Amino acid sequence: MIVSNRAPVRLVREHRHQRFEATVGGVGATFLKLLERHGGRWVAWSGTKTRVVMPPPDPRFSLVFQHLTEREIAGYYHGMCNRGLWPLMHFMPSRCRFVSAEWKLYCQVNRHFAKTAASEAAQCDVAWIQDFHLGLMPAVLRERLPALPIGLFWHVPWPPEQVFKVFPWSHELLSGMLGSNLIGFHTPSYVQHFLDCCERMMGLAVDRETGVVTHDSMTTQVGAFPLGIPVEYFREVALNEVVRAHSRRIRRMVRVPTVILGVDRLDYTKGMIERLLGFERFLELNPQYRRTVTLVLIAVPSRTKVADYALLKRQVDEVVGRVVGRFSSEGWVPVRYLYTQFEPRELVAYYQAADIALLTPLRDGMNLVAKEYIASQTSDSAVLILSEFAGAAEELTEALLVNPYDIDQIAARLKQAIEMPIEEKRQRLLGLRRRIDGNNLEHWSNRFLQSLVPDAANAKAQ
């Protein structure tokens, strides 16, 4: 049984009919494959009360949609999740807003999910809960089903104790998470931060070597499980001739020798302003590269109902306008700014068209765009510039790592990437490919389940 805030499908309305369509790629696609293979349930919120059997031609499992009221969505999701936990987990306490009424709704929604999951668990061997939206659910579900193996994967970072302790309900959240048999984070540093919180804030016994936390006469295993991507999917898309033709059209549209790409949700954690300022500094310091380099900046709309995000949109617009106004000449535009959502195939075309990926999150749990960019390359000359504060930086050591707060360093890394010898580019890209091949999305899910229920995982593998 998978439990997540968002469903892995979207409702498509056509005339008087409606149907559910699976989202393409990503973690959701892997979980769908797991459930198609083994059967089970997926409990999620989708804005509807409908239950759907999947896949329609040959049903193997059920999607069970958790109903939430508008008040619950406003307080739990837009409030506590987006304005409380999200900035907290990204080490940005000054952006946090903690409201007791929203915390109560967060607790209430977690109980709703636990109740629904418990009623659906009869045919399931294990429950795998996803992310910070459902941090209290493991303990609530444990009360209802003491013998059920429960795993929790935390897709965002976990902050140091000094940051986490500002959260008014820190003990309650830790206790809720520790209802799990296994908690997974992306990196060893997040694991250590979490263990610090358990030991120093809760006074619990922590075995640092094994990652085991002892509490309430039970133990919870905590470990690092870096999230991979469906590498073969991106490679297949990258070899599609329609996608390759689209990539060539993008190059012709931009009309410069070097294309730099930045792709992110429009979120203050992604360092989009810093990326633009670093590119601006690069153009200031390297006038010889003007009219030969263009930054294609793709900003995917995100959380448009939250005031911080509307403000960020205005700030990005202003910086883009300034850079374009300062440096445009003779038909050359230094920044192509695309504020839109792309389908995966379109995105892969942009990945292929780019000589350099510039990804500068101020803090990121993993950053899958970095891995998708590598998997989508059909040449050997692409260069990845990646923030050292992305979880992926601990894996992708062949990338050019950068401090996103240092705009001079961003400018220097851009110059280094452009002037890098072709053999060095090949060697770095080869190393990056090996890393994403060795830890793809299927490997990640298998490793987590193997750690949660070794006997069951072994039996299914056989």
Q: What is the DSSP letter of 380?
A: S
- Where does residue 151 rank: exposed (0-12), middle (13-18), buried (19+ CB within 10 A)? buried
pLDDT tens digits for range 273-307: 999 999 999 999 999 999 999 999 999 888 776 78
Sequence-ordered strand ranges (E) for 51-90: 51-54, 61-65
462 has a pLDDT exceeding 60: no
Determine whether 415 is exposed, middle or buried from the number of CB atoms within 10 Å of its CB (0-12, 13-18, 19+).
middle
Say what angle helices 344-353 and 241-254 make with each other, to 10 degrees.
Answer: 50
Beta partners for residue 220, in sequence order:
213
Tokens of residue 102, six digits: 């929203």
The β-bridge partners of 184 are: 153, 223
| Residue 210 exposure: Cα atoms within 13 Å on the Cβ side | 11
- Provide, rounded to the nearest whole percent, the portion of the chain with pLDDT above 90: 80
With cut-offs at 50, 70 and 90, classify the pLDDT of residue 39. confident
With a cut of 80, say whether residue 456 has pLDDT above it.
Answer: no
Spatial contact of 262 and 296, defined as CB atoms under 8 Å apart: yes
Question: DSSP 3-state assignment of 167?
Answer: coil
pLDDT digits (tens, 9 = 90+) for 74-109: 999 999 999 999 999 999 999 999 999 999 999 999
Q: What is the pLDDT of residue 458?
A: 44
Task: Give the per-residue pLDDT at 19.
Answer: 67
Taking alpha carbons only, the member of 354, 345, 377 closest to residue 242 is 345
pLDDT, average across residues 380-408: 97
Amino acid at 219: T
Q: With pLDDT > 70 as the criterion, what percentage of the chain qualifies?
A: 94
User: Mean of the pLDDT values across residues 15-41?
Assistant: 73
Q: Cis check for the bond before 344: say yes or no (omega within 30 of 0).
A: no
pLDDT at 457: 43
* 218 phi/psi in degrees, rounded to 5: -140, 170
Q: Which domains does the chain have, with CATH numbers?
A: 2-228+442-461 (3.40.50.2000), 231-438 (3.40.50.2000)
Show the CA angle centred on residue 169, arms to residues 164 and 172, nearest 5°.
105
In degrees, rounded to 5, the angle at the alpha carbon of residue 206 between the alpha carbons of residues 202 and 207 is 175
Region 137-141 average pLDDT: 98
pLDDT in tens, 164-187: 999 999 999 999 999 999 999 999
Half-sphere exposure (CA, 13 Å, Cβ side) for 17?
A: 3
Contacts 24+ apart (CB under 8 A), 232-239: 232/440, 233/25, 233/29, 234/25, 234/348, 234/372, 234/375, 234/376, 235/375, 235/376, 237/344, 237/345, 237/348, 237/376, 238/348, 238/351, 238/352, 238/375, 238/376, 238/377, 238/378, 239/378
Over residues 405-424, the pLDDT tens digits come to 999 999 999 999 999 999 99
Task: Give the bridge partners for 20, in sequence order.
Answer: 11
List phi, psi (to 5°) of 199. Answer: -75, -50
Cα of first residue to Cα of last residue in the chain, in angstroms, is 20
CB atoms within 10 A of CB 94: 6
**Angle made by CA atoms 226, 229, 230, in degrees to the nearest 5:** 145
Mean of per-residue pLDDT scores for the chain: 92
Least confident span in 119-123, 190-194, 332-336: 119-123
Question: Contact 382/354 with Cβ under 8 angstroms?
Answer: yes
pLDDT at 425 over 70: yes
271 is written with which tokens? 């360092």
Is pLDDT above 60 for 51?
Answer: yes
**CA-wise closest residue to 29 among 312, 295, 259, 234:** 234
